[in-house]
Structure formats: structure tokens, C-alpha cells
Amino acid sequence: MSVWEFSLGVFLGSTLAGFLGALTGLGGGVVLVPLLVLVFRVDLHHALGASLVSVIATSSGAAAAYVREGYTNLRLGMFLELATTLGALFGAGLLGVLPKRLVALVFGLVLLHSAYLSYQGRLEDQPIDPKDSDPLAKRLRLEGGLPSPEGERAYGVRRLLAGLGLMGLAGVLSGLLGIGSGAIKVLAMDRVMGLPYKVSTTTSNFMIGVTAAASAGIYLRQGYIDPRVSFPVMLGVLLGAFLGARILPRSSTSWLRTLFALVIAALGLQMVAQGVGK
């Protein structure tokens, strides 16, 4: 295909990735990497570099809207970023050591496991009473409030240190796989820390840009960020993230969980096949 056809196709695919990333808190990278590798035949390392650019763009495009609407827990997100940033730097350092086949296989397995956990979900999305919060979360004032038709609903935070450990793992995967690792972040905040699902997805969107930026410099130094791929990716993801941020407040939690699980399960199977078949 010609350069213009390639750029237009990547732009349209990136718009879809940004839209899904903003709705689910994934950051778009888990959609974009398989799309670039499997459909547009982009080299895996360059796809991962473009994905990091898309993650930063998604976070920038959606996070501001979510903060303004009162869904994002800024204090909690900034605290958890301590672990994800360190993990991202470590993961990016592994990129030149591990073979592409293994990276693709790990990517696929992470997506499939995330889809399974998301599909199980919590039976209900009732916020934890702030009185039952983790003592450290109380001391750091990490509790928050969620907008609802009846007014703001207060919620607490449980198992803060366990969540912090999972954020470190999410950072390693982000640096290694070129994603914002939103799947791990959302599941950690939703399933382990007990946050309402929309708070988990919006806080994840706020965090993923910082996580991706921590490892983007290493990718750039190694020559894995190609402007011919990254530029249409960035434009498309920004447009998709803006559209997704407008729709999320009116979306049902059960629908978001189902969308999250279906998208990453399908992509996980494709990436496992890519890793095994190389």
C-alpha cells in the first residue's frame, strides 16, 4: 500500500484504539500493538514505540476531562505512580535483551489473564465505606468521592500496599510491552483496592501517560519510535480519546466490563498466535 493509504489506515485504527482506551482505561496500546503488527505488518519494536506515544496521547486527551468531571482520584494516582514509574524504567531496560517472540507471547498471556479477571468482575460496584479504608490510605487522605445522580458518593481504599506492588508489575509490563498497562492498573484498583469501576478506569487513564513517558526516552534512544508510524497514531488516538471521554460518564459499568474483557481477550489470542508462530 502507498504511504497515504498506510497513514490513513493507521489513523483510523488509532482512532478506534484511543476510543476503546479512554472507555476502558487501557490506554489504547493493547489494541494498537496487535493492529500495527498483525494488520499493517509494522516491526514489533516500532509498534511498541508508537504505542507508547499513543498511550501518552490517550492520557493527555482523556485525563483532563475526567479530572474536570470529578471521577479521577488525583492523590491516589500520584502515589501509585511511584511504583509504576520505577517499574517502567526497569521493563524498558529489558527490551533489547528479550527476543521479539517472547515479548509477543508475554503480551498475549497478560491480555488473556486480564480478560479472565475482568470477566469475573465484582458482583456489584458498591464503594467501600471510608471508615473501612486501609490505615495508610487514611493517613495519606487517599479516599475520594464519585459523582452520581444522587450526589457525590464517598468511597475508601483498601489493601493499599498490595495495590502498590501490582502497580510496580504494571510498570514493568508497560516498559517491556510498550503499553500503559492499563489492564493491570484497572484490575488492581477495582479488584484489589476496591475502588468503584469508573474511578479505576479514569485514574488509570491519568496514570498511564506518566508510566509511558518514563520508558519512552529509552525507546527513542534505541531508535524504536518512527515518526512515520507515530504521527498518524498520535493524531488518531487523541481524537478517539476525546470521543471516549465524552461517552464514559453515560455508560453503564457492566457494559464497560464486558467491552474491556472482549477486546483484550480477542487481541490476547492474536498476540499469543503471533508469538508461538514466529
Show the cell assigned to 157: 481504599
pLDDT score, position 207: 85
How many other CB atoms sit within 10 Å of the CB of residue 248? 21
How many whole angstroms from its chain centre is CA 216?
Answer: 15
Q: What is the dihedral of CA 191, 28, 94, 118, to 10 degrees?
A: 20
b/e map 74-102, b = 16+ CB within 10 Å: ebbbebbbebbbbbbbbbbeebeeeebee
Each domain of the chain, given as residue ranges in start order, spans 3-277
Question: Is 254 exposed, middle or buried, given 0-12, 13-18 or 19+ CB atoms closer than 10 A?
Answer: exposed
* Whether the Cβ atoms of residue 28 and residue 241 lie closer than 8 Å to each other: yes
pLDDT at 122 over 80: no
Q: How confident is the model at residue 10 (pLDDT cuts 50, 70, 90)?
A: very high
Please name the residues in contact with 186: beta carbons below 8 A apart, sequence gap of 6 or more: 24, 25, 26, 118, 200, 201, 204, 260
Instruction: Write down the pLDDT at residue 274.
Output: 67
Q: What is the mean pLDDT of the chain?
A: 80
- Residue 123 pLDDT level (bands cut at 50, 70, 90): very low
pLDDT, tens only, 178-226: 666 677 788 788 888 988 888 888 888 888 777 777 777 777 888 888 8
Q: Label residue 62 by pLDDT band (50, 70, 90).
A: low
Q: What is the pLDDT of residues 64-109, one digit of tens each?
A: 777 878 888 999 999 998 898 898 888 888 866 777 678 778 777 8
Percentage above 70 pLDDT, the chain: 85
Question: Does residue 161 have a pLDDT over 80?
Answer: yes
State the average pLDDT over residues 4-28: 81
